[in-house]
Amino acid sequence: MACTATACPAMIRRECVALGESVVAMTPSVVLIAQDADGRAIEGSRATIDGQRAVPQLDGRPLELDPGTHRFALTLQDGRSQLLTATLSSGEKYRRIVASFAPPSNALETLPPEPEAASRGRNPLAYVFGGVGLVALGAWGVYALDGRNKQNELERCAPHCQASDVDAMRKSYVIADVLLGVSIVSLGTGTYFFFKQTDEQTPHGTASTVWVQASGRF
């Protein structure tokens, strides 16, 4: 986000916006729905995600979560609850999590007990940072090749080349250097999270945000 400021060159801003959008695209989201036997939404419903994140009202809005397995406890105003489990993939959007409730005259459904220990698995941040690293690495190759092509053209026209052509070559190389740094940091961070088990990280359902900032002088 820092490198999208107006103080940065336009080419850098566009690249940083694209990288940010790729992270958003990889973040899955769900829509929690509590409905009756006829498929109509039940007003006043609420939910809890992974036993920690509270959703005071189910209003049909998407909720962003980390990739992986999550538990959703959907509760009605009269206290009836259902526990649903879903595994979200990277980039999966608007996954419907639906709990259907029978009429109140039926027996109340009880909420199963929470598991005593969360299963161990790979931290989903490993895949997020890995994806960002690969995107930045591909962009680095494009700008590095562009800078090399501009350099070859300057070698042919030297010493009568335009100053603007020299600046264009330098800008391509600088952008390539920034993208390479972002790629190395992202891939290194992804590798760290890949080998670090999820139960050693933040508790399930707690959103974790890590920012990587790359800066340069132009």
DSSP structure class, residue 32: E
Non-local CB neighbours of 24 within 8 Å, separated by 6+ positions: none
Q: Is the pLDDT of residue 110 over 70?
A: no
| HSE value, Cβ hemisphere, 13 Å, CA-based, for 62 | 11
> How far is Cα 38 from Cα 21, in angstroms, rounded to an integer?
39
pLDDT digits (tens, 9 = 90+) for 83-100: 999 999 999 999 999 999
What is the predicted pLDDT for the residue at 198? 52
pLDDT digits (tens, 9 = 90+) for 1-60: 788 788 888 888 888 888 878 888 899 999 999 999 899 999 999 999 999 999 999 999
Residue spans of the domains in the chain: they are: 2-24+123-200, 29-100
> How far is Cα 89 from Cα 66, in angstroms, rounded to an integer?
9
Between 125-157 and 10-26, two packed helices, what is the crossing angle to 10 degrees? Answer: 150
CATH architecture of 29-100: Sandwich (2.60)
pLDDT digits (tens, 9 = 90+) for 145-204: 888 888 888 888 877 788 888 888 888 889 989 989 888 988 888 788 788 755 444 444
pLDDT digits (tens, 9 = 90+) for 111-122: 565 555 444 567
DSSP structure class, residue 97: E
pLDDT digits (tens, 9 = 90+) for 161-171: 888 888 888 88
- Could you please report the per-residue DSSP string of 100-156? E---TTSPPPPPPPPPSSPPP-B-THHHHHHHHHHHHHHHHHHHHHHHHHHHHHHHH
